[in-house]
Amino acid sequence: MLLTINMGNTRTHALCYQNGHKSPHYATATLPQVEHYLDWLRTITAVAPTRILLASVVPPAATAFSRAVRELWGLTPELVKPREDLGIRFTAVDYLHDLGADLFVNAVVSYHDYGGSILNVDLGTASTFCVIKEGLYLGTSIVPGMELSIRAMIQGTALLKDFSLQKMDRVVQDNTTACLQSGIYYGYFELVRGMIARIQAEAGPLQVVLTGGIGTFLHEELDSFVDYFRPELTLEGLHLIAQLLPVLE
């Protein structure tokens, strides 16, 4: 059994693959605590995996997760890092060494599945817009994520109270909470739509692939601007990499 793990700044996601079948999607908070992952992994599967691929952008949490895996199953997760032998070239950028593992995996699987010219839009703790043209990774634009923007607003003001994300039926509202919800909802939608349009104007026609937790929240509104909605893109990319590379070195 293959266990794929996508460890983001806020949430850690998992899928199991066995005999051609994919498990339900599992998720938990990203925390630097061994016991947290021991408890979570026990709920995912009672069967020890034969291989674990991990894409992480949180080194302390990745260390805790790896210790939990060794304690539970005696395995060492294979940590995925950017490389140039999986169909994507990075000669156009000078930050391959610190490119996020999730962005790398997304690029590999998107290009493998769709080819041509691609814009990966990953809406999570941060929102990333990554361009691949004919196998060449051209670069990325990064903006704060929707929930991060909410937290910054609440922490930076004296009177505003916390509020939840919610889809709104109109822009102008008549109470403070609804005003905040409307501004974030429509404002972030316009941000993403505008970024897609501006990048398309700059880089030429691109197939747009949408993923991420906020991508799931906004995908219906963004449908006319997106070619493919892939909520489990990174986890599916890890599965692809496991097929292409029997061992990560």
The CATH number linked to 15 is 3.30.420.40
The answer on 100 and 75 residing in a single domain is: no
The answer on 116 and 70 residing in a single domain is: no
The answer on 182 and 149 residing in a single domain is: yes
The answer on 128 and 57 residing in a single domain is: no
- Residue 61, both tokens: 């949490």
The answer on 150 and 47 residing in a single domain is: no
The answer on 102 and 68 residing in a single domain is: no
Residues of the chain with pLDDT under 70: 159, 249
245 belongs to a structural domain: no
Identified catalytic residue from 94, 98, 102, 223? 102
Total structural domains within the chain = 2
pLDDT for residue 101:
95
Please give the Cα distance from 110 to 116 (Å, whole number): 10
Please give the Cα distance from 77 to 234 (Å, whole number): 16
pLDDT for residue 239:
97
The answer on 111 and 216 residing in a single domain is: yes
91 belongs to a structural domain: no
Single residue among 17, 47, 79 that ends a domain in this structure: 79
17 belongs to a structural domain: yes
pLDDT for residue 177:
85
pLDDT for residue 47:
87
113 belongs to a structural domain: yes
The answer on 197 and 105 residing in a single domain is: yes
pLDDT for residue 119:
98
247 belongs to a structural domain: no
Task: Tell me, yes or no, if 113 is annotated catalytic.
Answer: no
Residue 8 · residue 124 · CB < 8 Å: yes
The answer on 159 and 63 residing in a single domain is: no
The answer on 218 and 154 residing in a single domain is: yes
pTM, two decimal places: 0.93
246 belongs to a structural domain: no
132 belongs to a structural domain: yes
Single residue among 79, 107, 135 that ends a domain in this structure: 79
Domain that holds residue 75: 2-79
pLDDT for residue 175:
87
pLDDT for residue 97:
76
Single residue among 48, 79, 110 that ends a domain in this structure: 79
234 belongs to a structural domain: yes
Please give the Cα distance from 41 to 29 (Å, whole number): 13
The answer on 110 and 212 residing in a single domain is: yes
pLDDT for residue 96:
75
The answer on 31 and 133 residing in a single domain is: no
